[in-house]
Amino acid sequence: MVVRVVLLGTAAGGGFPQWNCACALCAAARDGKLPSRTQECLALTGNGRDWWLLNASPDIRTQFAATPALWPGPGPRDTPLRGVLLTDAEADHVAGLTVLRGAAGLKVYAAAPVRAVLAPARGALDRYTPWEWADSLADGGFVLAGGLVVTARPVGAKTPKYVPSLGGSPDDRWVTAYRVEDLATGRVLVYAPCVAAWSPVLDELCASADCVLFDGTFFTADEMGTAVRPGAGQGAMGHLPVAGPDGSLAALARYPGTRRIYTHLNNTNPLLDPASAARSRVAETGVEVLPDGAEIVV
């Protein structure tokens, strides 16, 4: 068997076009000149029967509708969905859980701060149907139905905007990357859609990966204009830019043997336009930008 991965959505929070954005890129998407994108999450399976979500975006309902492998059946309430692995607690990665309420027997993996901040929502969701909530960072990782062994690795302390700042020292368990290994083939997928800064953990993950899905939120550090403290760049937004000496492209360029794909693209990102210079530059490095619904095999 192989690991099949469906990129259900590939846009950052707000989607593309974003409902309240009249920028040239969003206008082009509304005109049908650029492909629209739903908010980022993916589904994967190691056996073609048991499917796992990596994050659950607010667009999950339409994403399921567009993906026959995830359709229910044969029984009236049977679903191939077994659970959800959360990388963080960002609204665009967890809001889809409310859409899944009542689904029987789901198992949700998340790190401790994510489970804690979701406690009120977990209480509410568990009243529809109790789910099993597990620690993604448990020692030794965990095994998913379908022959997949997963380890989560802390990659950042970005807290969602809805979380009040209480001071104290940053907790790098807020944001994790997942390493999914197919026990049968030894092949490895790495999923890191929320990364504020490159770190040795990411080098370690990339070095052993056959395929990496990586945070492509922003192309440049000043893409959001003056909304960010001058000079702070997009690292302050919790996402490192693609371009620049400290950007992700320079880092990913060190792993030419690995399939590398950008996801979680913000509506400001020139990579959304296949004819952009940004897109050519990324392609020259061998890094891909794929549309919603793309299926990859690891």
Contacting positions for Mn ion (CB under 5 A): 12-13, 90, 92
CB nearer to Mn ion: pick between 136 and 258: 136
Annotate each residue in 218-257 with x if it binds Zn ion (CB under 5 A) or - if it does not, as one string. ----------------------------------------
Q: Please spell the DSSP secondary structure of 187-242, one letter per residue.
A: -EEEEE---SS--HHHHHHHHT-SEEEEE-S-SSTTTTGGGSPTTTTGGGGT---S
**91 interface partner picked from Mn ion, ligand MLT, Zn ion, none, CB below 5 to 8 A per type:** ligand MLT
Per CB under 5 A, 27 contacts Zn ion: no
Per CB under 5 A, 28 contacts Zn ion: no
Residue 96 is given by DSSP the state H
Q: Which of 119, 201, 123, 122 is nearest to 157 (CA)?
A: 201
Annotate each residue in 147-166 with x if it binds ligand MLT (CB under 6 A) or - if it does not, as one string. --------------x-----
Annotate each residue in 180-209 with x if it binds ligand MLT (CB under 6 A) or - if it does not, as one string. --------------x---------------
**141 interface partner picked from Zn ion, Mn ion, ligand MLT, none, CB below 5 to 8 A per type:** none
CB nearer to Zn ion: pick between 21 and 184: 21
Which helix (DSSP H) or strand (DSSP E) does residue 134 occupy? strand 132-135
Q: Which of 101, 97, 100 is nearest to 110 (CA)?
A: 97
Alpha-carbon gap, residue 196 to 179, rounded angstroms: 18
**172 interface partner picked from Mn ion, Zn ion, ligand MLT, none, CB below 5 to 8 A per type:** none
CB nearer to ligand MLT: pick between 12 and 150: 12
Rule CB under 6 A: choose which of 91, 99, 134, 157 binds ligand MLT: 91
Tokens 């399921």 found at = 64
Helices within the chain (DSSP H only): 24-30, 60-65, 91-94, 96-99, 112-117, 119-126, 200-207, 248-252, 277-284
Per CB under 5 A, 26 contacts Zn ion: yes
C-beta nearest to ligand MLT: residue:
13
- Three-class DSSP category at 125: helix
* Residue 147 Ramachandran class (φ > 0 left, ψ -120 to 50 alpha, else beta): left
Number of residues located near ligand MLT, criterion CB under 6 A: 11
**Contact, 173 vs 88, CB < 8 A?**
no
**290 interface partner picked from Mn ion, Zn ion, ligand MLT, none, CB below 5 to 8 A per type:** none
Rule CB under 6 A: choose which of 10, 51, 86, 92 binds ligand MLT: 92
CB nearer to Zn ion: pick between 36 and 199: 36
Per CB under 6 A, 232 contacts ligand MLT: no
Rule CB under 6 A: choose which of 13, 58, 156, 235 binds ligand MLT: 13
* Residue 72 Ramachandran class (φ > 0 left, ψ -120 to 50 alpha, else beta): beta
Q: In the bound complex, what is the minimum distance in angstroms from residue 136's beta carbon to ligand MLT?
A: 18
Residue 20's Cβ-count burial label (10 Å; 0-12, 13-18, 19+) is exposed
Tokens 């509304």 found at = 30
By CB under 6 A, name the binding residues for ligand MLT: 12-14, 90-92, 161, 194, 237-239
By CB under 5 A, name the binding residues for Zn ion: 21, 23, 26, 267
